[in-house]
């Protein structure tokens, strides 16, 4: 009987330590949705590239603007979905979406992510188009690894997988879109489902 | 056996005090609002338990103004960390013994 109290105490301690450092309301379903948006986006981008094949893609061309538009829509939709689904999950766990640990998660995600974003813009400026796909993948992967200390450990493995895909992508330039679909699409769906079945479905 | 019981620290023998210490062990500092949200307690309750830990010199309180709003934040002291670690060890060995 006394023993049970000590066990409960230890359980409480562990619980508080985790809850105060990690944001555990991150929705797995949001990951799956982001992956689906990315696959749809990649499909449209492939159609556009087919249609305009043979043309040289420049910053001013319609092809480039359309693809940029698709990428931006995928990003915005994914972020909105993640916020909404995580908000509901946080409410179910009687936690707040915007708290001490989610702030820390976001800041640590955004440091590599913003660096990668600026780097990509600079690559565009210097017309090094071939490196854009691998650079976005690698920096996104690094952002996930960095943020994973403040949320579920699955995010760490997602990050590592995407970094590897990014490195492979560097070697096979010309298949950027395929690797993008693999990294941002398939990986999100796989790891999102793992997280959904592990944590959300209870 | 007697030895182990001695290491069970009375100061931590309450859910809220245990909670405050757990949070402060893994965070450099935590402010009043964060602790309140994590522990799910009222202002008065949190303040009185924090005061008890402060009296034992296990935590320090830092009051400052952020803009016009007063902000209270807590930090675990070195002796607080050591005492809490000893307390956890004692809990563990008690469970293992029986």
Q: Which chain B residue has the Cα nearest residue A100?
A: B34
Q: Name the domain count of chain B.
A: 1
Q: What is the layout of strands, in order, in the sheet containing B69-76?
A: B30-31, B69-76, B59-66
The model's pLDDT over A71-116, given as tens digits with 9 standing for 90+, comes to: 999 999 999 999 999 999 999 988 889 888 899 999 999 999 999 9
A87: contact with B, CB 8 A cutoff: no
Predicted confidence (pLDDT) at residue B37 exceeds the cutoff of 90: no
Neighbours of B37 (CB within 10 A): 16
The model's pLDDT over B8-27, given as tens digits with 9 standing for 90+, comes to: 788 888 889 999 999 999 99
Predicted confidence (pLDDT) at residue B2 exceeds the cutoff of 60: no
> What pTM did the predictor assign?
0.84
Closest by Cβ to A21, choosing from B27, B40, B98: B27
Residues of A in contact with B26 (CB under 8 A): 17, 20-21
Q: Which chain A residue has the Cα nearest residue B98?
A: A3
Q: Is the Cβ pair B26, A20 closer than 8 Å?
A: yes
Task: Choose from A20, A21, A25, A96 for mutation: most chain B CBs within 10 A.
Answer: A20
When comparing pLDDT for B57 and A95, which is higher? B57
Q: Which chain B residue has the Cα nearest residue A14?
A: B22
Q: Is the Cβ pair A6, B91 closer than 8 Å?
A: yes
CATH number (domain holding residue B59): 1.10.10.10
* Most confident by average pLDDT, A181-195, B55-69, B81-95: A181-195
Stretch 71-90 of chain B: residues touching chain A, C-beta under 8 Å: 88
When comparing pLDDT for B66 and A158, which is higher? A158
Closest by Cβ to A13, choosing from B18, B34, B95: B18
Instruction: Point out which residues pair with B60 in neighbouring strands.
Output: B75
Q: Which domain holds residue B85?
A: 2-97
| Tokens, residue A73 | 């829509």
Q: Which residues contact B37 (CB under 8 A, 6 or more apart)?
A: A95, A96, A99, A100
* Whole-number Å distance between alpha carbons of A23 and A100: 9
Residues of A in contact with B95 (CB under 8 A): 3, 6-7, 10
Distance from CA of A55 to the nearest CA of B (A): 55
Q: Is the Cβ pair B25, A17 closer than 8 Å?
A: yes
* Whole-number Å distance between alpha carbons of A66 and A42: 12
Domains of chain A, residue spans = 26-200
């Amino acid at each position: 009987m006394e023993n049970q109290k000590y066990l409960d105490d230890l359980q409480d301690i562990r619980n508080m330590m985790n809850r105060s450092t990690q944001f555990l309301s991150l929705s797995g379903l949001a990951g799956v949705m982001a992956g689906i948006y990315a696959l749809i986006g990649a499909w449209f981008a492939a159609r556009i590239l087919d249609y305009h094949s043979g043309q040289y893609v420049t910053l001013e061309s319609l092809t480039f603007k359309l693809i940029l538009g698709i990428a931006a829509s995928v990003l915005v939709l994914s972020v909105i979905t993640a916020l909404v689904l995580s908000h509901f999950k946080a409410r179910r766990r009687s936690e707040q979406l915007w708290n001490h640990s989610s702030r820390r998660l976001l800041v640590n995600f955004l440091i590599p992510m913003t660096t990668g974003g600026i780097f990509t813009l600079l690559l565009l400026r210097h017309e090094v188009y071939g490196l854009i796909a691998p650079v976005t993948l690698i920096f996104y992967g690094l952002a996930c690894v960095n943020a994973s200390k403040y949320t579920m450990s699955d995010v760490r493995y997602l990050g590592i997988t995407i970094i590897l895909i990014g490195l492979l992508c560097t070697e096979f330039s010309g298949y950027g879109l395929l690797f993008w679909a693999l990294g941002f699409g398939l990986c999100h769906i796989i790891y999102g489902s793992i997280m959904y079945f592990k944590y959300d479905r209870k | 056996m007697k030895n182990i019981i001695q290491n069970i620290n009375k100061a931590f023998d309450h859910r809220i005090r245990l909670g405050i210490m757990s949070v402060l062990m893994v965070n450099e500092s935590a402010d009043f609002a964060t602790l309140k949200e994590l522990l799910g307690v009222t202002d008065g309750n949190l303040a009185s338990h924090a005061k008890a830990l402060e009296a034992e010199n296990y935590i320090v309180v830092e009051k400052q103004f952020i803009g016009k709003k007063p902000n209270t934040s807590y930090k675990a002291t070195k002796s607080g960390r050591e005492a809490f670690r000893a307390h956890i060890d004692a809990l563990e060995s008690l469970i293992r013994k029986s």
